[in-house]
Structure 1
C-alpha cells in the first residue's frame, strides 16, 4: 500500500510536535529523565521525540498511548502536544512551532495550566496524583 504523503511531509508535523514537547517540558521545569519517569516511557524515547528522530531515515512517529502518557505526565490535554490539531491535515504542517502557548482548543484554560511544577514533584518518585496548584502564586503545591 502506497503512503499517502511522503515521509518528508510527515516530518513537518513531527518537528512541530518535537518543539511543543520540548517547550512544555521546559515550561514545567522537567528534565527528560523526570518526564520519562512520570510518563512511563524511556528517556531515549523522550529524546528521540524532541529531536524528531526515530532512526536515521525516519522522523519521530509516537504511538497514541505515548502521546497520552506524556500529556498525562505534563498535565496537559493531548491536543497541547499535537500540531495543527484544529485544522484539516495538509501536505505539510503550516503551524508555527513556537505557538505552544496558543493551542486553539480549550487549553490553556487558566494560568496554572502552564505553571512550573513544584520542586517535590520535579525530583521525587513517580506521582500517584497530579500536583495541586496554588492559584495565588501560579505554582504547584
Structure 2
C-alpha cells in the first residue's frame, strides 16, 4: 500500500513551524535545553519540531517521519516564546520579522 503524503500546505506549515520555533528561541536567547526545562517538553521533541521530524520511521526509507506537534505542545511553546499560537501554525505568517514579545 503506498504511503500517504501530506498536502503541500500542511508540509509547508510544519516546515515553517520548525523555522519559527528555532528563530524565536534564538531571538529570546534560549537554548533547546532551557526551552525544554521551562516548558516541560523534552529537548528531543523541541529538536524534532525545529528539524521537522518525529521519532517514527518511514517504513520505506527508514528516515524519521515528518513532525506533527500536538496542540498542547504548540500552546506551551507559544506561551514560553511569548507569541500568539496562530503565529506558529499559520503558514501565511512569515518567519521574519520575529514578533515582539506579547504580555506574560
TM-score by length of 2: 0.74
Q: How far 1:13 moved relative to its partner?
A: 1.7
Deviation for aligned residue 1:40? 1.1
Q: CA RMSD in A?
A: 2.6
Question: Residue 81 of structure 1 aligns to a residue in which SS?
Answer: helix
In the aligned structure 1, how far is the partner of 2:6 from the partner of 2:48?
A: 16
Larger radius of gyration: 1
Partner of 1:7: 6
CA displacement 1:19-39 (0-9 Å, x = unmatched)? 011111111010000001111
CA contact (8 A) 2:16 2:95 kept: no
Distance in structure 1 (CA, Å) of the matches to 2:30 and 2:72: 20
**1:1-141 correspondence runs (5 A):** 6-7=5-6, 9=8, 10-55=10-55, 56-57=57-58, 58-84=65-91, 95=92, 99-102=94-97, 108=99, 111=100, 113=101, 130=104
Q: Give structure 1 stretches of 5+ with no counterpart.
A: 85-94, 115-129, 131-141
- Equivalent residue pairs, number: 93
